[in-house]
Structure 1
Amino acid sequence: MSDKSRRNPPLVADKRYGAAKAVQPAASSKPKSKAPAKPGAPKAKTAGRRTAKPRSRSSGGGIGGFFGGLIGWILRLIWRITWRIAAVVAIMLGLAVTYVYSTLPDASALLDGRARGSVTLQDYEGKTFAWRGDQFGGVVTADSVSPYLKNAIIATEDKRFYHHLGVSPRGVASAVRINLSEGRGPLSGHGGSTITQQTAKLLCLGVEYVPNEWKNQAEYEADCRRGSLWRKGKEAVYALAMEAKYTKDEILGIYLNRAYMGGGAYGAEAAAKRFFNKPAAELSPAEGAMVAGLLTAPTSLAPTNNLERSQNRAAVVIGLMRDQGYITEAQAQDAIAHPAQLSEAAEARAGGYFADWVMSSGPEFFTRNTTEDVIIRTTLDPRLQKAAEDAMRFIFTEKVKEGSKAQAAIVVMSADGAVRAMVGGRDTKVTGAFNRATQALRQTGSSFKPFVYATALDLGRSPLDTVLDEPFCMNIPGSGQWCPDNYTRQHYGRVTLAQALRDSLNVPVVKVSESVGRENVRKVAEGFGIQSDLALGPALALGASESTLIEMTGAYAGILNGGSSVKPYGLIDLRLLDDKEPLMGTEGGIGERVIRTEAAQELIWMMEKVVSEGTGRRAQIPGWQVAGKTGTTQAARDAWFIGFTADYVAGVWMGYDDNTPLSGVTGSGLPAEIFHETMVRVHEGLTPKPLPMMAPTGASDMLDPSAQENNPVGSGVERFLQNLLGGGGQGSNNAVTQPQR
């Protein structure tokens, strides 16, 4: 093909359409210069499709263009699907929130969510000293509590509480990040929950506790606390509905009333009263910080469990309050320098052994398993309780070697059986512990001997009657020969009954018991309130039977009150909260007469000699007449001292829980000293009163047994024993009984 043919293109369509195009001048070989476009002037449209600007093949052509278009198509598809799904989810979420919103009751109906009731225990003057069950102190609002408490909770639990809609994505994301960094699952550990979500959880998302639908309340509460993804979603829906239904302060009010804060306290008011004995409106910065700090772990952080740990947590909360501007630097420093302290009642660990005893002795449906809020007024005297606790600590600090595991118990009561103080072990600040004053059955030893002499006196014997103290054995059917011996392993010839009790001689008391009849002795002891099984053999007189300290102390109270039975009691009356009339009253006190008043008064005279002249000298109280009796069992496994003044009866037991023998301890030693320390404190500030005792005729001759050698009653005891033993009072030392004192 020639160059000419390349330079002359063929005819095109404009040739065919003639005139319009034909009149146009031919293109010049020199192009005209283009006039510059005016700024802002629209560009002229180019005629014809061929003159349109061609597409750039660099962006849409080839493999790159294909994949770019594919990716763009996928992204557009994802967007179309995503916004449609989001719209559906939003509609469903809105419907769910609307439904939950419609089921929510008025905020006031959600303030008390306990399944159990509470028991408030008051002392004899009506002052609260202990709590049991699920305690609810009363309704509070976000405005009625101390601002320090309110701000401490917000600073600790949800600092953006007043700025979110119930759910905090930022908080959730932060919690997930922390959980993963600590090696846990995304939903395990930190929850990132807002106060609204926590309140929703406290409400169990609207599911109420129905006893017959759950194995127990613990299972119900565990289900409420589940942290699955589905549960978290439901929780968020419930929180959004609450935000729509209630104001922020109403939500915070529900939280302040329902949150568990340790020590059996539900809600801020109960916690404030439980730990600080004041209303929630009066909490200081340090106290408000301590209560707020409990919310993360109310059981382990409760100040009644570990005050130091609770104070350390409160210091962290104070720092958050300062950093967020709720308190000044000076207030923060003061709160840290002066941390919150427990009230006296709270420090006593909710009444300790005494409260536990009252709860166990009352009707179960009003104490351990009550569904009502119950008020129990008790016989406790806080001053006497402190006296007993201080005495216990003093003796074990000053008189017992370090590392000893020996235990002790103390009971103080009035002559009518009203228990005024109780210590069930060395550790006085406990709740729910084994109570050695009421639960430990131990051999009574010589502390049982007064009931033998009470029987003899009631049958007409005199404290000045005599009995021969000499080697003595008895034949016991099925057991062979039994030979009691005195603690000193010596014998003192003819002694009066008063001397025998004063010096805790074993042979004379066995002879007296046999002469008056074991059944009569058993009947008198049971009449005075010893309910435990009593020994059937002659060792009954030496305290071979077991009893509890509270039974024995109550029996001695019967001697003090003139010979009538006593049932120890701690409950004065029981009523429901807000009721004025009690549902029940005292179930203890003085009962039927056991021995004659004269016999009881003579026995008190004999027991006074035990303290003033005999084995119980360490129990003396300056300025007061004291009567009592020591007791030590076989191998010194138990040591007792029980005694009384005109005002109070006190019993002390000492021993090991595993029955290990005591080393160098008898009833006349440490138990008598514990009694002394207790009663000195008990009687502080009181005017001394004489004991209601009666000396027998001829008491001045008590220390001259020869004056009684021809006493017909005393010789009658010997004649009875001569007949019983077949003419002889002596025998071999087979099966010698361990001496008692």
Structure 2
Amino acid sequence: MVSPLEPKKRRGAIAAFLLAADAWLDSSLYEIRFKAGEFWESATIFFRRFRVKGWRRGVIELLSEGFTMGAGGAVVMLALALPAFQETGGDWRAQDDFAVMFLDRYGNEIGQRGIIQRDSVPVDQMPDHVIKAVLATEDRRFFEHYGIDVLGLMRAMTENVRANSVVQGGSSITQQLAKNLFLTNERTLERKIKEAFLSLWLEANLSKKEILQLYLDRSYMGGGTFGIEAAADFYFGKSVKDLTLAEAAMLAGLFKAPTKYAPHINLPEARARANVVLSNLVDSGFMTEGQVLQARRHPADVVDRGDRKSPDYYLDWAFEEVKRLAMKSGQHSLVAHTTYDPNIQQAAEESLEFHLRQFGKDYHASQGAIVVIETNGAVRALVGGRDYGASQFNRATKALRQPGSSFKVYVYATAMEHGLTPDSIVSGAPVSWGNWHPGNYNGASAGSMTVTTALVKSINTVPVRLAKDKLGIKPIKEMAEAMGVESQLESHKTMVLGTSGMTVMDQATGYSVFAQDGMVGSRHGITQLVTHTGEVVYDFAKDASPPHRVLSEQAVKYMNSMLVQVPVIGTARRAALPGIVSGGKTGTSQSYRDAWYVGFTGNYTAAVWLGNDDYTPTRNMTGGSLPAMIWQRLMVYAHQNIDLKPIPGIDHPFVDAETSAKAKEAEKEAARDAADRTAPERPPVLSSRTTHVLRDMNMQFRSAPPLQPASEPETLSAL
């Protein structure tokens, strides 16, 4: 039996324990506070020894703030450096082990890419005057700085101010190598920051000799050559080991502007530049005037290469295509038959340069790019910029620029597939989509109109309303991608007005669908890859996937019936071709940074872009101005002396009955030729009319009775 006093004893014991714990906690906290006070007082007394007054206190405060700002600056520098260091991923030292010789559509050699350009010659085996000529001109303090030559930069700025123009560059060899290996030539602050960090990174990871070796091996030297050894062979027919001082000076002058000073194009200009290099050798103290006098008196002569101009932008793109197609074959030394047409390429380059020289300053436009695709999908010409020597960045295949209103064709193509017709009535009234309130060009307002009017007049509010109320963003994006757009499109509502970056190649590929009756998948630059022993590695006619339909015939008919009105009554009247029906669409991005015209006939599709590398706005340049003019001049040339083909779905695709009859006959001839096409593409040089005349003459000669041989004279006097 439990005693009644037991519960009271237990409660008393618990209470006593809690009181003891409370007392211990209170005393412990008091002890900790007391000890902390003692420590703080001791620390305060200790640090009073370091307390300074007067001017010393000011120094300490400045150092303290400096350390704080330095820590913050280090964080900022790290944030800026990370994007630059991401460029160093992969095996950036390794050169491509492909060796490819390229032929145009007629079988003529147009250039080479890969290791076939020549093997590297070690810096130690190059003549001393070759190295000195390069360093005296490009980076005199190369062995003294750590990637960025501050003194050289200040000297260059001083000379440029004196001359009131850019006469000297401040970039070191390391900076130029960083740009060649990892970056583009776009004039942006981001690129310059990356270049600076990558220069320091190269200096930390490579020796000076390795940096100089890579620079001499990877730099573009004009004439389609990369590296000083390839340039020595191309211009002088010898190895870099055997170069004279005059020849070395001429090559050293190419690093600044290889296209401008290429001796096979402009020998007097190249010799003048070489003379500047010789002066640099003397000014830098590397040589005396007496040592360079002989080279001044007897300038270098070059091997006669004619006026051959290498289509380098096209070759760069075609080389990437070759590597993609031949990757699984195991063959790396190849001959590539391309779709390149030198005549159309020359016309494209000439049209771009002609108009930029004439009107570029007025519009504040300095760069452009063009892609021309034949209706069979063959890429006939590619212009990636005005000067490959000044910038190897391919603006036709790599630059992502806003297409503006030229993107609207993908919206309307989607609408046609969803039941709209060119005669459907739509509202052009102001529209709001969340916080976005797009307006029309020049703030003009519009009421109800047909879809045709909306497209031809490039009304902004109509495609926005279609996307918002009827289509949605996803189907439009899927349509653009299905039509051949390879750039990453943003799934944002502003996409319908062309705010996602696209390449010129994307635009040419997408618009070619309208010329190819809704089919996609035929775009190509390589028709055949063969080894030097004749083994066929790839044949487009046999190995490529067949084209497939992305637009119905009805949608193609609707779209083309609207697009052919743009050059007639729409925004691209300057693109109208005399006597030839064409279709297309203009495009102008925000703040006039990009101007486009993409158009097509039954024969060709061409995309033209104009703008500036640094993304500065042009001076109110629209797609219907300079781009349309460039397109028109190019396409007038491209359609000379060829059989015109009809634009699919157009009721009256030709301006007269005679042209229509010729086109039908040409279509029949093409169908007969396509029935037995097993050999690689060899485009005819003669027109079909000339071919028919020659065939008729051949048949007449065959049907004529044979001529009787004349009797042989008996004596020489009979002759």
What interval of TM-score do these two structures reach, taking the shorter chain for normalisation? 0.5 to 0.7
The answer as to 2:326 corresponding to 1:357 is no
Separation in 2, partners of 1:483, 1:645:
36
How far the C-alpha of 1:688 sits from its partner, in A, is 3.8
Q: Which amino acid aligns with 2:517?
A: G
**Residues 473/306 of structure 1: CA separation in 2 closer, same or farther (3 Å cut):** same
Q: Which amino acid aligns with 2:472?
A: G
Match of 2:423 among 448, 464, 489: 464
The answer as to 2:382 corresponding to 1:422 is yes
Q: 1:719 — aligned with what?
A: none
- Per the alignment, in what secondary structure is the counterpart of residue 427 of structure 1? coil
1:157-178 CA distance string (max 9 Å, x none): xxxxxxxxxxxxxxx9xxxxxx
The answer as to 2:406 corresponding to 1:447 is yes
How do residues 517-596 of structure 1 correspond to structure 2 at under 5 angstroms?
Answer: 517-566=472-521, 568-583=523-538, 585=540, 591-596=547-552
How do residues 192-211 of structure 1 correspond to structure 2 at under 5 angstroms?
Answer: none
How do residues 69-218 of structure 1 correspond to structure 2 at under 5 angstroms?
Answer: 118-135=99-116
How far the C-alpha of 1:525 sits from its partner, in A, is 0.9
**Residues 294/132 of structure 1: CA separation in 2 closer, same or farther (3 Å cut):** farther
Q: 2:637 — aligned with what?
A: 681
How far the C-alpha of 1:136 sits from its partner, in A, is 7.5
Give the structure-2-normalised TM-score. Answer: 0.53
Q: 1:623 — aligned with what?
A: 579
How far the C-alpha of 1:361 sits from its partner, in A, is 3.3
Q: Which amino acid aligns with 1:489?
A: G
Match of 1:375 among 323, 327, 335: 335
How far the C-alpha of 1:566 sits from its partner, in A, is 3.4
Query: Which is worse superposed, 656-665 or 588-597?
Result: 588-597
- Per the alignment, in what secondary structure is the counterpart of residue 582 of structure 1? strand
Q: 2:442 — aligned with what?
A: 488
Separation in 2, partners of 1:133, 1:275:
19
**Residues 292/680 of structure 1: CA separation in 2 closer, same or farther (3 Å cut):** farther
How do residues 698-737 of structure 1 correspond to structure 2 at under 5 angstroms?
Answer: none
How far the C-alpha of 1:520 sits from its partner, in A, is 1.8
Separation in 2, partners of 1:136, 1:580:
22
- Per the alignment, in what secondary structure is the counterpart of residue 660 of structure 1? coil
Whether contact under 8 Å (1:442, 1:546) holds in the other structure is yes
Q: Which amino acid aligns with 2:400?
A: L
How far the C-alpha of 1:436 sits from its partner, in A, is 0.9
Give the structure-1-normalised TM-score. Answer: 0.52
Q: 1:57 — aligned with what?
A: none
| Structure 2 gaps, min length 5 | 1-94, 119-127, 129-205, 217-222, 276-297, 653-719
**Residues 134/466 of structure 1: CA separation in 2 closer, same or farther (3 Å cut):** same
Separation in 1, partners of 2:99, 2:226:
9
**Residues 418/406 of structure 1: CA separation in 2 closer, same or farther (3 Å cut):** same
- Per the alignment, in what secondary structure is the counterpart of residue 353 of structure 1? helix
| Structure 1 gaps, min length 5 | 1-113, 138-171, 173-214, 226-260, 284-289, 316-334, 697-741
Q: Which amino acid aligns with 2:375?
A: A
Q: 2:396 — aligned with what?
A: 437
Separation in 2, partners of 1:435, 1:220:
25
- Per the alignment, in what secondary structure is the counterpart of residue 595 of structure 1? coil
The answer as to 2:469 corresponding to 1:507 is no
Q: 2:252 — aligned with what?
A: 300
How far the C-alpha of 1:420 sits from its partner, in A, is 0.8
Bigger share in helix: 2
Whether contact under 8 Å (2:363, 2:619) holds in the other structure is no
**Residues 588/550 of structure 1: CA separation in 2 closer, same or farther (3 Å cut):** farther
- Identity over aligned pairs, percent: 33
Q: Which amino acid aligns with 1:530?
A: V
- Per the alignment, in what secondary structure is the counterpart of residue 547 of structure 1? coil
Whether contact under 8 Å (1:620, 1:626) holds in the other structure is yes
Separation in 2, partners of 1:374, 1:299:
29
Q: 2:366 — aligned with what?
A: 406
How do residues 214-253 of structure 1 correspond to structure 2 at under 5 angstroms?
Answer: none
- Per the alignment, in what secondary structure is the counterpart of residue 611 of structure 1? helix
Q: 2:601 — aligned with what?
A: 645
How far the C-alpha of 1:116 sits from its partner, in A, is 6.3
Query: Which is worse superposed, 435-444 or 482-491?
Result: 482-491
How do residues 42-53 of structure 1 correspond to structure 2 at under 5 angstroms?
Answer: none
- Per the alignment, in what secondary structure is the counterpart of residue 361 of structure 1? helix
Separation in 1, partners of 2:574, 2:273:
48
- Per the alignment, in what secondary structure is the counterpart of residue 401 of structure 1? helix
Separation in 2, partners of 1:656, 1:556:
24
How far the C-alpha of 1:678 sits from its partner, in A, is 1.5
Whether contact under 8 Å (1:135, 1:264) holds in the other structure is no
Separation in 2, partners of 1:393, 1:400:
9
1:85-127 CA distance string (max 9 Å, x none): xxxxxxxxxxxxxxxxxxxxxxxxxxxxx99663211111221
Q: Which amino acid aligns with 1:128?
A: E
How far the C-alpha of 1:429 sits from its partner, in A, is 5.6
How far the C-alpha of 1:357 sits from its partner, in A, is 1.2
- Per the alignment, in what secondary structure is the counterpart of residue 602 of structure 2? coil
- Per the alignment, in what secondary structure is the counterpart of residue 442 of structure 2? coil
How far the C-alpha of 1:534 sits from its partner, in A, is 2.5
How far the C-alpha of 1:565 sits from its partner, in A, is 2.2
**Residues 264/116 of structure 1: CA separation in 2 closer, same or farther (3 Å cut):** farther
Q: 2:564 — aligned with what?
A: 608
Match of 1:343 among 306, 328, 331: 306
**Residues 129/516 of structure 1: CA separation in 2 closer, same or farther (3 Å cut):** same
**Residues 428/393 of structure 1: CA separation in 2 closer, same or farther (3 Å cut):** farther
Whether contact under 8 Å (1:469, 1:492) holds in the other structure is yes
Separation in 2, partners of 1:590, 1:395:
38
Separation in 2, partners of 1:265, 1:539:
45
How far the C-alpha of 1:221 sits from its partner, in A, is 11
How far the C-alpha of 1:402 sits from its partner, in A, is 7.4
- Per the alignment, in what secondary structure is the counterpart of residue 649 of structure 1? strand
**Residues 376/295 of structure 1: CA separation in 2 closer, same or farther (3 Å cut):** farther
- Per the alignment, in what secondary structure is the counterpart of residue 443 of structure 1? coil
The answer as to 2:225 corresponding to 1:263 is yes
